[in-house]
Amino acid sequence: MRMEFIDTHCHINFGQFRDDLSSVITSARKAGVRKFVVPGVDAVTSETAVKLSQKYPGDIIPAVGFHPYEAQRTDPSGAARHLESMLKKCPYAAVGECGLDYHIYKGHEATGKKDAQKFLLETHLRLAIRYGRTATIHCRDAFDDLFDLIDSLPRLPKAVLHCFSGGMRQVRQAEERKLLMGVDGNVTYSKQLAANVRSIPLSNLLLETDSPLLTPVPLRGRRNEPKNLRLVARAVAAIKGVPLPEVAEITGHNSRSMFFAYYG
Ligand SMILES: [Zn+2]
Ligand SMILES: [Zn+2]
């Protein structure tokens, strides 16, 4: 049986892919990467993700959302209306990329800015729960606030902690809340991350590239693209000591149940 992989977080809706997207998709398919989840980070890139999903039906799932970097310049009620109308129009769209990123405030007083991020994230998660969609969550240096926020919601959202960067305590906290964790190309060069991934069962992992960022070894310095998901998969197989087809099968199953359920 041919191995198939799903890139569960790639920004092929960004300007970096404007000129050669169809060849990027062709080379991904040649590498066995057949399906893609494409998150927006603002109104424009979310709309672009939805348009791409119409061009590649069943193979591209868009996620609509406002990145925490946008929290300062995003009006939360306008964002909520925009998100809701996109979710209504696109019944298979996921939610995101949304989240909390406190790394950008290191060394600065940022209470109000953090509150703006939290409010924007809560808006996304409440919509994800209301519309039964999966959320792709970005979290950097903000896990305590993230888990507190999730625990304050009326129900657990179905969600992935994309590009997971937590330690063992955060792995357990994610597992208690049935959140899956996304692994990216940085697993090929971060020993700490590799050690964490070793202890997460495959049944809780998804593979992603975060293209155009996080290019894996040995291609670092170049634009990342979904075909490089193979390198992430190979690294996970080596770290966990399991055959590559098993990584493909289990992470593929996880990805389909999180993002492609609409297509059966
Ligand atoms: Zn992210
Ligand atoms: Zn991203």
- Does residue 264 register a pLDDT over 80? no
Q: Is 97 annotated as a binding residue?
A: yes
Once rounded to an integer, what is the mean pLDDT over residues 73-97? 95
Please, which residues bridge with residue 222 across strands? Answer: none
Report which of residues 5 and 74 the model is more confident about.
5
Per-domain residue ranges of the chain: 5-263
Please tell me the distance between residue 148's alpha carbon and the centre of ligand 2 in angstroms: 22
- Does residue 1 register a pLDDT over 70? no
Token pair, residue 210, equals 């975060």
Please tell me the distance between residue 103's alpha carbon and the centre of ligand 2 in angstroms: 15
Q: Is 67 annotated as a binding residue?
A: no
pTM (2 d.p.): 0.96
The amino acid at 254: N
Please tell me the distance between residue 163's alpha carbon and the centre of ligand 2 in angstroms: 8
Please tell me the distance between residue 249's alpha carbon and the centre of ligand 2 in angstroms: 24
CATH number of 5-263: 3.20.20.140
* Phi/psi of residue 217, nearest 5 degrees: -60, 135
Report which of residues 106 and 242 the model is more confident about.
242
* Phi/psi of residue 86, nearest 5 degrees: -65, -40
Q: Is 162 annotated as a binding residue?
A: yes
Proportion of the chain above pLDDT 90, given as a percent:
93
- Does residue 12 register a pLDDT over 90? yes
* pLDDT value of residue 110: 82
Q: Is 210 annotated as a binding residue?
A: yes
Q: Is 108 annotated as a binding residue?
A: no
Strand order in the sheet with 5-7: 5-7, 33-39, 60-64, 94-101, 135-140, 159-162, 180-183, 205-207
Give residue-wise pLDDT tens across range 100-157: 999 988 888 888 899 999 999 999 999 999 999 999 999 999 999 999 999 999 999 9
Once rounded to an integer, what is the mean pLDDT over residues 41-60? 97
